[in-house]
């Protein structure tokens, strides 16, 4: 199923039903007064976070959603039926904006979380509501109020604890397949991963976390080159970033600086996240290359040598992820 992480839809809440103009007419009740009932309220449009959804694909093909109108009032002081609310289900992690003003209306991150994005119109009052001692037979009623209408921008940002950052073919998909049950597409050409993939990592009892393999970055990604914007949107919610650099690169430190600059250009707040630096594809290194890399220092860290093929350094990396994640959680709770 295609991964769709943005959509623009128009929603319209139901209009309120009109009030009724009616007078009591019974055989043995002389001078019956007004008995027109109120109209029913229009239905709301509500977004509901559904943990079983992972994409906004349904909203790519249908763009307009209208809730039910309220029914008009009736005689004998009967109120019209209110319109049924319209519930639209979206994946957890969906950010909702007003597409016209850019205002953030809500952020649906918890399963079952609800957000009213358009309120139904109030039903109009019937003529019975306007009877007074000086106007005992009002011959008018209110029309129902129109329901709210909005153009919404839905933006899905994956809910992951750890995000893998790196250039195309740095080995992110292979690493995710090694440490979790996820099976992303793996091949030896750029942009093999065209959509984000989540994997659950179980380190031990009560030690599990979610890792995201997201399309690779290239220089200029923050301005829309490659698949960068699709990547950058999804790492905003992660707590820890793992920078995966190729150990066979002529200058891993320069690669790291480029990746860091892309994050800074897109959103400087991303640099506040905890970072782990590792060098992938260690199985391709000669002994001389290993000795040279053993003295390498990047951003105050000694990069961890890993190989998804041989398993070298993988367990150590997982413990580093868990430790950094615990530190991030403690800082968030403070």
Please indicate, yes or no, whether residues 191 and 84 belong to a single structural domain of this protein: no
- 172-227 pLDDT per residue, tens: 888 888 888 656 554 444 444 456 677 888 887 778 888 888 766 655 444 444 44
- 232-259 pLDDT per residue, tens: 677 787 889 999 999 888 899 999 998 8
pLDDT of residue 215: 65
Calpha distance 260→107 (Å, rounded): 27
Q: By the 8 A CB rule, do 98 and 108 touch?
A: no
Q: Is residue 1 part of a domain?
A: no
Which domain CATH number covers 318? 3.40.50.300
pLDDT exceeds 90 at position 143 = yes
pLDDT exceeds 70 at position 285 = yes
Return the bridge partners of 7, or none.
154
Please indicate, yes or no, whether residues 175 and 128 belong to a single structural domain of this protein: no
The model's pTM is: 0.69
Residue range 144-170: mean pLDDT, rounded: 88
- 4-47 pLDDT per residue, tens: 678 999 999 999 999 999 998 777 766 678 999 999 999 999 99
pLDDT exceeds 90 at position 274 = yes
Residue range 300-325: mean pLDDT, rounded: 92
Q: Is residue 237 part of a domain?
A: yes
- Please give the structure tokens belonging to residue 315: 């367990």
Which domain CATH number covers 32? 2.70.210.12
Return the bridge partners of 211, or none.
162, 199
Is residue 311 classed exposed, middle or buried when 0-12, 13-18 and 19+ CB atoms within 10 A define those classes?
A: exposed
Please indicate, yes or no, whether residues 106 and 122 belong to a single structural domain of this protein: yes
Please indicate, yes or no, whether residues 247 and 318 belong to a single structural domain of this protein: yes
Structural domains in the chain (count): 2
Pairing of strands 45-50, 114-118: antiparallel
- 68-120 pLDDT per residue, tens: 999 999 999 999 999 999 999 998 889 999 999 999 999 998 999 999 999 99
Provide the residue range defining the domain that includes 248.
162-333
């Amino acid at each position: 199923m295609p991964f769709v992480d943005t959509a623009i839809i128009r929603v319209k809440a139901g209009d309120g039903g009109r009030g009724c103009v009616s007078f009591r007419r019974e055989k043995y009740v002389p001078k019956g007064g007004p008995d027109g009932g109120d109209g029913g309220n229009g239905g709301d449009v509500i977004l509901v976070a559904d943990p079983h959804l992972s994409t906004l694909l349904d909203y790519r093909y249908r763009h307009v959603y209208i809730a039910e109108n309220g029914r008009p009032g009736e005689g004998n002081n009967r109120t019209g039926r209110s319109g049924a609310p319209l519930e639209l289900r979206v994946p957890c992690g969906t950010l909702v904006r007003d597409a016209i003003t850019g205002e953030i209306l809500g952020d649906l991150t918890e399963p079952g979380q609800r957000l009213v994005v358009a309120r139904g119109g109030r039903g109009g009052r019937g003529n019975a509501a306007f009877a007074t001692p000086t106007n005992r037979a009002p011959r008018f009623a209110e029309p129902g109020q129109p329901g709210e209408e909005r153009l919404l921008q839905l933006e899905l940002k994956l809910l992951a604890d750890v995000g893998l950052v790196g250039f195309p073919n740095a080995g992110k998909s292979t690493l995710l397949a090694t440490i979790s049950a996820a099976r992303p597409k793996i091949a030896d050409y750029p942009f093999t991963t065209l959509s984000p993939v989540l994997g659950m990592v179980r380190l031990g009892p009560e030690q599990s976390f979610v890792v995201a393999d997201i399309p690779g970055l290239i220089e200029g990604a923050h301005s829309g080159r490659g698949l960068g914007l699709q990547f950058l949107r999804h790492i905003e919610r992660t707590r820890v970033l793992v920078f995966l650099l190729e150990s066979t690169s002529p200058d891993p430190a320069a690669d790291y600086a480029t990746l860091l600059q892309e994050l800074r250009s897109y959103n400087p707040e991303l640099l506040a996240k905890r970072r782990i630096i590792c060098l992938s594809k260690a199985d391709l290194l000669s002994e001389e290359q290993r000795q040279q890399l053993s003295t390498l220092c990047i951003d105050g860290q000694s990069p961890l040598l890993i190989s998804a093929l041989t398993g070298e350094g993988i367990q150590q990396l997982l413990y580093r992820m868990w430790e950094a994640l615990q530190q991030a959680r403690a800082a968030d709770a403070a």
